[in-house]
Structure 1
Amino acid sequence: MSRFSTSFVSLKDRLSDAEWQTRVNLAACYRLLDRFGMTDLIYNHITAQIPGKPGSLLINLYGLLYKEITASSLVEIDYDGNILHKQDTDYGINKSGYVIHGCIHRARPNVHCVIHTHTRAGMAVSAMRGGLLPLTQTATRFHGHLAYHEFEGPAVDLAEQERLVRDLGEHNAMVLRNHGLLVACASIPQALNLMYQLEMSCRAQVDALSAGGLEAVSLPSREVLERSAHLYQPGTRRPYGELEWHAMLRLLESDPGGYPPYDS
C-alpha cells in the first residue's frame, strides 16, 4: 500500500472513550470547514486538547485534505510539536501548526480548540487597515472583542509565539494581519461556531465595501454595538456552538458528497 494512502487502521478500540469522542468531533470539524468553503488546499490546522492527557493535542496529518480527515488519522503531539503518536505513514505534521497553536494551548488552559484559516475573505479583511468593521449583526459580536497580530512572515519562528499569546490576550478571536483568521475556544463546537461567524462577517464586509467603499455603508451607534457585543460574550447567555453542533453533524452526515465516514 502507498505510504501516502488515506486509509488508516481504526484506533477506536485502543483509546479511551473521551479521547475517541474528541477525535470524532475534531474530524467532523475539519469536514465542516471543508463543507463551508474555509479550506486552503492541504494547509491550515484545527487542534484540540486530549481529555486526560495534559499537554497533548490532536492535529491533522500534513498532506490530507480536510474532507479526508478521520478520527483515526489525527496525530497526537505535545505543545512543542513532538509527535507522540501517528499512523504508519510518510505524512507528518506542518511546523506552523504547533508554532501557532501550541503556544495558545499552553498559555490558555481553558482553550480546548484552536482553528486557523486562510480564507479569501479572511485574508482580505486581514489586509484592510481598519480590520473587521461592525457592519452586520454577525460582526457586532466581535466589537471590542477581537485581537490583532502583526504579520511576521510564515509562522515558523518560535520567537513569534510570545507575541501571538500577548496579542491574543483573553480574546477568543484574532485577525492575523496580512495572513488570516484564528479562534480559540473552550470546545470544538464553540470554536466552529465562532469561526463560522467571523468568516461570515468578513465575507459580508468584502461584499459591502465592494459596492462603494466606506462611504456606501452605515454603522450602528456605539451604544448598540456595545450592547450587541456583550450579548455574545462567554458566560452572558448560552455557550454558542453547543446547540448548533448537533445540527452541524446532521448536515455533515447527510452530505451527498460520498465522503468516507469521519468517525472511523
Structure 2
Amino acid sequence: MAASSTSVRNIVSAEEWEARVNLAAAYRLTALFGWDDLVFTHISARVPGPEHQFLINPYGMMFDEITASSLVKVDLDGRKVMDSPYDINPAGFTIHSAVHAAREDALCVMHTHSVNGVAVSAQKDGLLPLSQQSLGVLASLGYHDYEGIALNDDERPRLVRDLGMHTFLMLRNHGLLTVGATAADAFVAMYFFEAACMIQVRAQAGGGELTRIAQPILDGIKEQIATVTRGVTAGALAWPGLLRRLDRRNPGYAD
C-alpha cells in the first residue's frame, strides 16, 4: 500500500515536497489540457539536494489522478530510492535520466505524445515560423530522429547531443520535449510548443498559401520575450493562475 500524503510529507524535505506538489500539478494540468497519452508519457523533476535523484510518474496511474505522494523517486540507474508500490516506465526513464544527467539546469523534463505535436514531428520541415507562438520555440529548438521506443541506452548520447542547450526538442515521428528550471517553466514551454503545432496543423488544413514570419523578426524574438515577461520566466508569470484553475477543476494534487 502506498504511503499516505502525511507520512510522505513528513519524511521528505520541504523543498522536495514543494517539487512533488508542483510536479503533480503539472501532470494534472497536462491531462486538463488534453496532452496526455493514457499512461505513456512522462514529466520528471530533479529532487533538490546533492544526490542525483528525480521524481517521475507511477506507471499505470492516469495523469489526472497523480498526487505529490504517489510520485516515484528514483536514481539515475532507475532504482527506487523510496518505497513505492509502483514501477516506472523504462522508456520514460531512458529519455528523462539522459537529460537530467547531461543538463544540470534541466530540473524538470516534460515529454508528450500530443496529437498536434506528433503530427508536426512527422513533417519533414518540422515546426514552421507561422505564428507568434512558434517564434519562441524556434529560437531554442532541436530535432532528434526516431529510433524506435526509447529503450536502448545507446540512444542516450544522440538524444542529449540533439537537445544541446535548447529548451525545446522535437522527437521526430514521436512527440515533443521541453526542459525548464521548474515544473512551471517546462509546462509553459510545452504550452507554447503544443500551441505552435496546433496552429500549424490547422493553418495547413485550411489549404491556402501560408505566410512565414521573416527571419529578422525571429532573430529578435528573445529580446522581445524578455521585455514582455519583465525579466522573469513565462512559467513564473502563468503558474499561479494555472494552479488556481487546477484547484477549481481537479483539486487533490497536493495530497
The SS at the match of 1:198 is helix
1:112 corresponds in structure 2 to: 107
Gaps of 5+ in 2: none
**Aligned partners of 2:70, 2:58: CA distance in 1, in Å?**
7
**Aligned partners of 2:225, 2:77: CA distance in 1, in Å?**
33
Q: 2:213 is matched by which residue type in structure 1?
A: P
**Aligned partners of 1:176, 1:230: CA distance in 2, in Å?**
27
Q: Does the 8 Å contact 1:77/1:85 carry over to 2?
A: yes
Calculate percent identity across the aligned residue pairs.
41
1:246 corresponds in structure 2 to: 240
**Aligned partners of 1:211, 1:55: CA distance in 2, in Å?**
47
1:129 corresponds in structure 2 to: 124
**Aligned partners of 1:78, 1:230: CA distance in 2, in Å?**
37
**Corresponding pairs, count:** 252
2:39 corresponds in structure 1 to: 42
Q: 1:55 is matched by which residue type in structure 2?
A: H
The SS at the match of 2:169 is strand
2:82 corresponds in structure 1 to: 85
**Aligned partners of 2:196, 2:144: CA distance in 1, in Å?**
18
Gaps of 5+ in 1: none
Q: 196, 216, 223: which is aligned to 2:216?
A: 223
**Aligned partners of 1:8, 1:84: CA distance in 2, in Å?**
14
Shift of residue 260, structure 1, vs aligned partner: 5.5
* 1:3-82 pair list within 5 angstroms: 8-10=3-5, 11-82=8-79
Q: Does the 8 Å contact 1:143/1:229 carry over to 2?
A: no
Q: 141, 146, 166: which is aligned to 1:171?
A: 166
1:181 corresponds in structure 2 to: 176
Shift of residue 50, structure 1, vs aligned partner: 0.5
Q: Does the 8 Å contact 2:134/2:193 carry over to 1?
A: yes
Q: Does the 8 Å contact 2:45/2:108 carry over to 1?
A: yes
1:190 corresponds in structure 2 to: 185
Q: Does the 8 Å contact 1:143/1:226 carry over to 2?
A: no
Structure with greater helix percent = 2
For normalisation by structure 1, the TM-score amounts to 0.91
Q: Does the 8 Å contact 2:169/2:177 carry over to 1?
A: yes
Q: Does the 8 Å contact 2:136/2:222 carry over to 1?
A: yes
Q: 1:178 to 1:221 in 2, by over 3 A?
A: same
